Amino acid sequence: MTDDAEPSVVRGTPDVGPAVALLNEAYGDWGDDALFRWKYDEYPGFDPERCFSISADGELAAFRRLFDRSIRGERDYDLFVLGDTCVAPAHQGQGLYSTLHAETTDAARESGADCAATFNRRGTITFAANRDRGWRFRPLPLRLRILDPSVVLPEYARLALDADGPIGRVLSRVGHRIQLRLADGTLRADELVGDDATDGGLALPIPAPSRLLETGIEAVVGDPVAAVRHRLSGEYRDPAPAVRPEVHDELDPDTREAVDALYEDVLDGYDLRFRRDAATVNHLLAHPTLAGIATVRRGDDLVGFAPVCLKRSGGVLEAHALDFLARDEGAVCPLAAAVEDLARSAGANAVVLVTDRDPGSRWIGVDRQVLMWDSYGADTDLLEDGSLFVGFYDVEMG
């Protein structure tokens, strides 16, 4: 594309191969053709006209999808989630993102939606830009369980720590002399801020208890005061009758019917909830990397449900609970434990939940992930302040 050429936005689903290649180039580990078909062709009510792309120099250069979503409850919101936005590195700085953003937000506004939304992370350029545009946001109740610290910590620390900041500079300079002894191996402190660790010199071995590391990570990526309070509170003691965890590859008809009833029961307790009709749940259960489905029963009653998929993030294999559904407090910790066991058996290094329930003190609270939105005249006070059921499935579809 020449400097004076006006980028042209085209509607319609691009060819799968080039689209997946662009998404992986932009995100590093986005996924494969099967994930693309699941998110697009198999998405309930999929409309190819909600896909927007720009080609330049004979190749796919930029892409975005509008995911039509709905939130129901004390008041209803119809919204479009701006998802899978990417610009090829070779074509960045050419105004393609601005053109794509204007075209897609205009389309969302003209469709009669109440708002456009996006899932984002505090501290990013797009988060700051959206805040400058007047977008509102709410943190997502994300919970993290680290299973393999020596694998996970370097990857996550580089996301949380600024290598040029004071902590990063100290670790880069002397970190090669500090060796953390973890439950699953050893880790040099300078590996927390980069891959170019300095060799040479004697290393001081320091035992690092897992709970201390979890508290430190939570203080960095969440609310430090809440992190300490959470650790001091101890584990939740279940006063309810014993429950029985189970893991399924697929659901039989009776269990599937019980899942629908559990959704209705649990979601009624929220002011607002993302759409979970039968078609949406069926789509959720058809995720191409589904590792299994954790359930919890009390007697014959289904009281917990969490389908778990796998996602690679750099060198870390994450297990994501697409939804985390617990009928009462007595089902929360057993369901979280069942998800963790499922993740371990699948070889995952970490587990991620999105839930406002407390799964136990070994789970780290992360408040950097947010839902942001731009209202098109709708009153969104309840969306900001009311209780909201949201799952990792909703983040996945963004």
Report domain extents, the chain.
Answer: 9-139, 141-148+209-366
- Give pLDDT tens digits along the chain (398 positions): 445 567 799 999 999 999 999 999 998 889 999 999 999 999 999 999 999 999 998 899 999 999 999 999 999 999 999 999 999 999 999 999 999 999 999 999 999 999 999 999 988 888 999 999 999 999 999 999 989 887 877 776 555 444 444 433 443 444 444 444 455 555 444 444 455 544 444 444 444 445 545 554 554 445 544 544 444 454 444 445 689 999 999 999 999 999 999 999 999 999 999 999 999 999 999 999 999 999 999 999 999 999 999 999 888 899 999 999 999 999 999 999 999 999 999 999 999 999 999 999 889 888 889 999 999 999 999 999 999 999 999 999 87
Q: What is the identity of the amino acid at 205?
A: P
What is the pLDDT, as a whole number, of residue 171?
Answer: 37
To the nearest 10 degrees (0 to 180), the angle between helices 210-221 and 149-160 is 20
What is the pLDDT, as a whole number, of residue 151?
Answer: 81
141-148+209-366 shares the fold of 9-139: yes
Helix segments in 82-148, DSSP class H: 96-110, 125-132
Q: Which residues lie below 8 Å from residue 9, measured CB to CB, with a gap of 6+?
A: 52, 53, 54, 99, 100, 103
What is the pLDDT, as a whole number, of residue 168?
Answer: 39
Which tokens belong to 186?
A: 């050893």
To the nearest 10 degrees (0 to 180), the angle between helices 210-221 and 224-233 is 150
What is the pLDDT, as a whole number, of residue 215?
Answer: 52
What is the pLDDT, as a whole number, of residue 292?
Answer: 98
CB 153: neighbour CB atoms within 10 A? 22
> Between 3.90.1150.10, 3.40.630.30, 3.20.20.70, 3.30.70.890, what CATH number should domain 141-148+209-366 receive?
3.40.630.30
What is the pLDDT, as a whole number, of residue 367?
Answer: 83
What is the pLDDT, as a whole number, of residue 5?
Answer: 62
* Whole-structure pTM value: 0.82
Architecture of domain 9-139: 3-Layer(aba) Sandwich (3.40)
C-alpha–C-alpha distance, residues 250 and 378, integer Å:
40
CA dist 35 → 17, 39, 78, 118, 179 (Å): 12, 6, 25, 20, 39
Picking from 11, 8, 165, the residue whose alpha carbon sits closest to that of residue 96 is 8
Say which DSSP state 361 is in.
Answer: T
C-alpha–C-alpha distance, residues 100 and 95, integer Å:
9
What is the pLDDT, as a whole number, of residue 157?
Answer: 57
